């Protein structure tokens, strides 16, 4: 079963300063038995997680590789990991009762060195294959189009842990060549979508009759049901759908001949977070403690939670940060991510979105904003005369391979 995104406790890097390696955990789902995931640590424990865009029905798990001596497979259910069974060196296949989930976790408790896993395979019912990212489906002009009507959302107000049912009808003016399913998302698009969307929940809907068998202009009912997770944010969030072929490779237009998604409506969420009421914010000052920047409040140093680069933000990550007990959020706008000054506005818009969305799930947060003022590689390439020249008349070697060089201390532009 394809379509999973992988996470792992670590991966083995290289000996030089680059981040390139042949041991990434993405190798576990590339379909190749000659590529491997290798952990950085020689000794267990290690863990690997598989995430899908929406819940799937699974019942069998297989690992391929060497070095695994003992492991436990767990299924994510109702906000908790629940054991599905054990695997070991001679037991590479685990069959278990059907489970509906969007996450699996392999906890490796005993292993030999080197531990090398090439593939993790999951099997279940015949069901639509979710794209890892919607960008994987071809987004050129859709060859086929669908009409969505009779939309109903029940209830329109809910909270974390609640269930939301969305029903609508789908039809086409002509006979369709492909079989489509409907991917419904509750999410907010990131200001910079490549750096993460604020996804809340996803679900799929299908029609009883495959779309390639539909009669032209006849309406076919579709029902999609969401279970709202504990990190569902306060306020309104849009519900949108896309029609994707069962092989996950093509879109059908919805609502408009060139439109790939259609908004069905919105769900309004009321959280039960207890918001501290204060007349004035606590007196605080920015201080350094052993080289770490933080707040001093009432004579006590408070370490912030560090969101470096403000990268891959999301409601789940923001909500999960509460487990460290830290309410001070440190968002760093890193110079390598910001580009030229003419491009800065979108990054400040992203900062504003991240702060607003953190408050939607952690309303008692305080914020510390860091802005890295070092010259950006894009600026150095645009201003080559500002580069430092060494004693031999050559441009100074860059800190990272492929970059322009080092800025001169005598530059009048910085």
Task: Scan for tokens 């009779």, then name that residue.
Answer: 150
Name every residue whose Cβ is closer than 8 Å to that of residue 268 and which is 6 or more positions away in sequence. Answer: 156, 157, 158, 235, 236
- Domains of the chain plus CATH, in order, are 5-124 (2.60.120.260), 134-269 (2.60.40.770), 284-371 (no CATH)
- CB neighbourhood size of 69 (10 A): 15
- Which pLDDT does position 110 carry in this prediction? 95
Can you give the chain as a three-state secondary structure string?
Answer: CCCCEEEECCCCCCCCCCCCCCCCHHHHHCCCCCCCECCCCCCCCEEEEEEEEEEEEEEEEEEEEEEEEEEEEEEEECCEEEEEEEEECCECEEEEEEEEEEEEEEEEEEEEEEEEEEEEEEEECCCCCCCCCHHHCECCCCCCEEEEEEEEEECCEECCCCEEEEEEEEECCCCCCCCEEEEEEEEECCCCHHHCCEEEEEEEECCCCCHHHCCCCCCEEEEEEEECCCCCCCEEEEEEEEEEECCCCEEEEECCCCCCCEEEEEEEECCCCCCCCCCCCCCEEEEEECCEEEEEECCEEECCEEEHHHCCCCHHHHHHHHHHCCCEEEEEECHHHHCCHHHHHHHHHHHHHHHHHHHHHCCCCEEEEEECCCCCHHHHHHCHHHECECCCCCECCCCCCCCCCCECCCCCCC
Find out whether 50 and 120 touch, Cβ atoms under 8 Å: yes
| pLDDT of the residue at 401 | 64
Q: How far apart are CA 361 and CA 235, in angstroms?
A: 10
pLDDT of residue 17: 46
Residues whose CB is less than 8 angstroms from the CB of residue 322 and which lie 6 or more positions away in sequence, other chains included:
362
Q: What is the pLDDT of residue 231?
A: 93
Contact of 382 with 389, CB cutoff 8 Å: no
Digit-by-digit pLDDT tens for the chain (414 residues) are 777 889 899 888 765 545 556 788 889 998 898 999 999 888 999 999 999 888 889 999 999 999 999 999 999 988 889 999 999 988 999 999 999 999 999 999 999 988 999 999 999 988 887 666 655 455 666 889 999 999 999 999 999 999 999 999 999 999 999 999 999 999 998 888 766 678 899 999 999 999 999 999 999 999 999 999 999 999 999 999 999 998 888 899 998 888 889 999 999 999 988 777 666 666 777 788 777 777 787 778 877 766 655 556 789 888 888 877 778 888 888 776 777 778 888 889 988 999 999 999 999 888 888 887 777 778 888 888 888 877 777 777 666 666 677 777 667 776
Beta carbons of 65 and 117 less than 8 angstroms apart: yes
pLDDT value for 307: 60
The pLDDT value given to residue 411: 74
Neighbours of 203 (CB within 10 A): 23
Q: In the prediction, which pLDDT does 126 show?
A: 81
Contact 249, 285 (CB under 8 A): no
d(C-alpha 153, C-alpha 161), whole Å: 17
Query: How many CA within 13 A on the CB side of residue 234?
Result: 15
The answer to whether the CB of 37 falls within 8 A of the CB of 48 is yes
Note the maximum CA span of the chain. 78
Phi first, then psi: give them for residue 299, nearest 5 degrees.
80, 5
């Amino acid at each position: 079963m394809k379509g999973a995104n992988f996470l792992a406790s670590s991966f083995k890097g290289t000996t030089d300063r680059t981040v390139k390696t042949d041991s990434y955990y993405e190798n576990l789902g590339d379909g190749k038995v000659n590529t491997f995931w290798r952990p950085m640590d020689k000794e267990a424990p290690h863990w690997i997680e598989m995430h899908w865009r929406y819940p799937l029905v699974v019942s069998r798990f297989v690992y391929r590789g060497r070095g695994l001596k003992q492991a436990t497979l767990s299924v994510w259910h109702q906000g908790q990991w629940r054991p599905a069974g054990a695997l070991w060196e001679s037991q590479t296949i685990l069959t278990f009762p059907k489970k509906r989930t969007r996450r699996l976790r392999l906890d490796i408790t005993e292993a030999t060195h080197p531990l090398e896993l090439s593939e993790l395979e999951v099997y279940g019912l015949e069901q639509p294959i979710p794209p890892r990212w919607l960008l994987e489906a071809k987004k050129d002009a859709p060859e086929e189009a669908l009409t969505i009507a009779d939309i109903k959302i029940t209830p329109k107000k809910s909270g974390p842990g609640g269930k939301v049912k969305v029903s609508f009808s789908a039809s086409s003016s002509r006979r369709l060549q492909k079989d489509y399913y409907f991917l419904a998302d509750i999410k907010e698009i990131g200001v910079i979508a490549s750096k993460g969307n604020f996804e809340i929940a996803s679900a799929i809907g299908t029609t009883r009759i495959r779309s390639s068998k539909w009669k032209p202009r006849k309406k076919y009912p579709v029902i999609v049901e969401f279970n709202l997770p504990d990190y569902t944010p306060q306020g309104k969030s849009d519900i949108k759908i896309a029609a994707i072929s069962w092989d996950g490779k093509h879109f059908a237009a919805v609502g408009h001949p060139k439109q790939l998604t259609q908004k069905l409506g919105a769900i309004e969420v009321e959280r039960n977070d207890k918001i501290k009421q204060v007349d004035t914010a606590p007196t605080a000052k920015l201080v350094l403690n052993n080289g770490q920047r933080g707040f001093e409040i009432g004579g006590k140093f408070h370490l912030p939670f560090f969101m470096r680069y403000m990268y891959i933000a999301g409601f789940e990550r923001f909500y999960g940060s509460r487990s460290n007990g830290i309410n001070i959020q440190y968002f760093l706008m890193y110079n390598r991510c910001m580009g030229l000054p003419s491009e800065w506005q979108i990054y400040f818009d992203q900062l504003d979105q991240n702060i607003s969305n953190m408050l939607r799930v952690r309303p008692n947060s305080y914020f510390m904003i860091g802005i890295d003022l070092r010259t950006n590689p894009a600026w150095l390439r645009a201003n080559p005369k500002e580069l430092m020249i060494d004693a031999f008349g050559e441009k100074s070697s860059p800190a990272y391979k492929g970059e322009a060089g080092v800025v001169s201390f005598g530059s009048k532009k910085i």
